[in-house]
Amino acid sequence: MRRDPAVTRVEAAPMLRSVITRINGRPAAEVAGDHWAIRGDRSVTYSDGSPPRTTITQGAWWPPDYDGPPLVSFSADEGAEQGLKLVDTLAVSILGREITGTIASFRQVDFRNAGIGFVLSMNPAALKGAPHTWIATVYAEPAAEAAILRDLAQAWPNVTGIRVGDVIASVGRLLDGIAAARE
């Protein structure tokens, strides 16, 4: 993908599914109420260093090759909505294994586009050995998208490619309509 002249950027990240079970040792719902981030399972990722285009709003990312107790970087907006602060602990269940990490940083996460955005990121050692998949976002010229999806499917038949631009545009129009109806 990166060699294709129509591709302007590729972002990729490991992805695991998790459930936030506890906050500061208490059941998550007792602390966060019915916040969407604790309802059902959430994607979690890991990264040795702060991913490109990451804006830390509080705290700091763990150092490269950090191998100490589990650390968490959490979405700043969702953390504020739940009343979370630095050094709070979060327990997540990944395939039935509970991992408790300390919040080391908060960061901006934009869920409004097709980019990769995770509420929760952990240091790699915290998730060592856990089975996971990879997710990627390919930014390309719209005219090249069909060919890119075709080439992707031919090269890697086990990879699912989804064109999300039309979906985002439709959702945007729907939300604009809802907002206009409220006025």
Closest to 79 measured CA to CA, from 68, 88, 70, 71: 88
pTM to 2 decimal places: 0.80
pLDDT of residue 141: 86
Q: Where does the pLDDT of residue 177 fall: very low under 50, low under 70, confident under 90, or very high at 90 and above?
A: confident
User: Residue 99: in which H helix or E strand, if any?
Assistant: strand 97-107
Q: pLDDT tens across 50-109, in order?
A: 887 889 999 999 999 999 999 999 999 999 999 999 999 999 999 999 999 999 999 998
What does the block give as tokens for 10? 């590729």
Name beta bridge partners: 11: 137
- DSSP conformation letters of 138-169: EEE-GGGHHHHHHHHHHH-TT------HHHHH
CA 81 to chain centre: 17
Closest to 83 measured CA to CA, from 24, 131, 42: 24
pLDDT of residue 176: 80
Overall average pLDDT of the 22-49 stretch? 93
- DSSP conformation letters of 3-67: T-TTEEEEEEEEEEEEEEEEETTEEHHHHHTT-GGGSS-EEEEE-SSPPTT--EEEE-PPPTT--
Given a contact cutoff of 8 angstroms between Cβ atoms, the answer to whether 57 and 106 are in contact is yes
Three-state DSSP class for residue 123: coil
DSSP state at residue 181:
H
pLDDT higher than 80, residue 114: no
